[in-house]
Amino acid sequence: MDFSLLLVLAVALSGVVYLLDVLVLKPKRRQRFATAEANTKEGLDPATSEKLLKEPWPVDYARSFFPVLLVVLVVRSFVIEPFQIPSGSMRPTLEVGDFILVNKFAYGLRLPVVNTRFIEVDDPERGDVMVFRFPGEPSVNFIKRVVGMPGDRIRYEGKQLFINGEAVAKELIEEGPEGSPQQLLLAERLGDAEHFIYNNPRDPGPQMREVEVPEGHYFMMGDNRDHSNDSRYWGFVPEENIVGRAFGVWMHWDGGLPSFTSVRRIE
C-alpha cells in the first residue's frame, strides 16, 4: 500500500468537496434560506432554519478533515516522516521495533508520490543512514548506510570494505556482545562518521568484486554486514529513489508496551 498516494488522494478529494461547497453549494443553501424567510411573515422557526442551512454530511466531513490531512501531508512530505524498523539489517545501530524519524528536507524537497526533487538542499554524504525506495519496487522503503558515492570504486572481500582501493578502517570493540553472542562488534569510520557494525566470523558472508558507482547513484550497505539485503546483492540506488536522512529513534515497540528508554540520535 502506497500511503503517500492514499494521503494525496484523500487531501485532493476532501479539498475538492470543500471548495465545491464554498463556491456552489453554500451560496445555494443561503439563497434557499433567504427565499424561504422572505415568504414567511412570522419568520422561520429554528428547526426549519437549521434544516435549510445544514451542510450535507460529505461537506461536513470534508470541512473537518481537509485541514488536518493537508497538515499531515505537508509535514510528512517536506519535514519529518516516521518509520518503523522491520528487520535486523541495521543492527547494532537500529534494532527491530525501533521507531525512527527521517528528515525529509535534508536532501532537498520532493513532490509526494512521484518523488521528484524540486528544491535542492544537500546531497547524501558517506556514512549517512538513509531511507530510500527499493529499486524496482517503489512502494517498499529500505534503510541502509551510504557507503559509496557517485564515482567511487567499491569492493567487499573477506568481511573488509574497500573504497577506491583503500580498506575502510575498523576496530574490534567486543567479541560476542550481549544479545548477539556469535557476532563481533566493530567500530567503523566512513568519512567523518564513526559507527558500529556486526560481523559474524562463522559466516563467510557475501564477496563482491570491485564495482564503480554510476553518477546519480549510491551504494548502500547495512551495518549488520552478514545479514543485510543491500547493494552487494541488487545494485545501486538512484537519486530519485531517496526518501530522506534518518536522524533519531523516538520509540521502541516489540509487541509489548512501547518503550522510550532507547530514544537516541542515529550516528
- Identify which of 83, 121, 71 has the alpha carbon closest to the alpha carbon of residue 266: 83
Instruction: Let me know: does 198 contact 191? Beta carbons within 8 Å.
Output: no
89 in active site:
yes
Cα distance between residue 241 and residue 169, in whole Å: 29
Give me the torsion for CA of 125, 126, 127, 128, rounded to 10°: 30
Catalytic status, residue 87: no
Smallest Cα–Cα separation from 221: which of 197, 242, 239? 197
Q: Which of 4, 14, 77, 89 is catalytic?
A: 89
CB-CB neighbours of 99 under 10 Å: 18
Q: What are the Cα distances from residue 102, in Å, to 2, 206, 233?
A: 17, 29, 25
Distance of CA 174 to the CA centre of its chain: 32
Catalytic residue among 104, 144, 159, 170: 144
Buried b (16+ CB within 10 A) or exposed e, 53-84: eeeeeebeebeebbeebeeebeebbbeebebe
The residues with which 144 forms a beta bridge, in sequence order, are: 130
Identify the sign of the CA torsion 78, 84, 88, 94: positive
Q: Any idea which residues carry the catalytic annotation?
A: 89, 144
